[in-house]
Amino acid sequence: MSRQQQAGRDQLRAHRRVFWLAWQRAQRGQPLNALEQRIVAVIAMHPEYQSLFADEERFLDGDHLDNTGIHPWLHLSLHLALEEQLATNQPPAITTTLHHLQHRCGMEHHQALHRLLDVLAETVHEAQQRGGDPDVVAYQRRLERLCRE
């Protein structure tokens, strides 16, 4: 493994460790900081991923896909990013779009979050393909389109 690959692997383990520690602290009833509370709330929404937290080494190093081909860590991380966007209403269309999906389209909260996650994932993927930052204007337009569906 090259030095760059190892650095990437170490960074991935560090990111996963934040999730691991938050979940373990919650399971032991220990106090959680604000970030850990958000992480635990996201994990609690996904019982299908909770078994991954049973074995620390497998958790930190495993390359897991769920039964639909979705990578759990990416999914949980996108949820966390979306929760931050909703908390700050950035971009400005985010909370309006969530409200629209729930109240006008009849989606339950988690289903509506997943529609927003799809748009966020598409925006992040395009940024990776371009090798630049996410296009916030395009992201906002996609969110606004969801309100017109």
Domain for residue 77, yes or no? Answer: no
Same domain assignment for residues 108 and 58:
no
Q: CA angle at residue 64 from 3 to 74, to 5 degrees?
A: 75
Would 138 be classed as within a structural domain? yes
Residues 8 and 43 in one domain: yes
Q: Please tell me the total count of domains within the chain.
A: 2
Q: Which domain holds residue 41?
A: 1-64
Q: Does residue 97 sit in the same domain as residue 60?
A: no
Q: Do the domain assignments include residue 81?
A: no
What per-residue string of b and e applies to 49-62 under the rule 16 or more CB within 10 Å gives b? beebbeeeeebbee
Local confidence pLDDT in tens for the 149 residues of the chain: 688 777 767 787 788 899 999 999 999 999 999 999 999 999 999 998 898 888 888 777 777 656 666 788 888 999 999 999 999 999 988 999 999 999 999 999 999 999 999 999 999 999 999 999 999 999 999 998 987 76
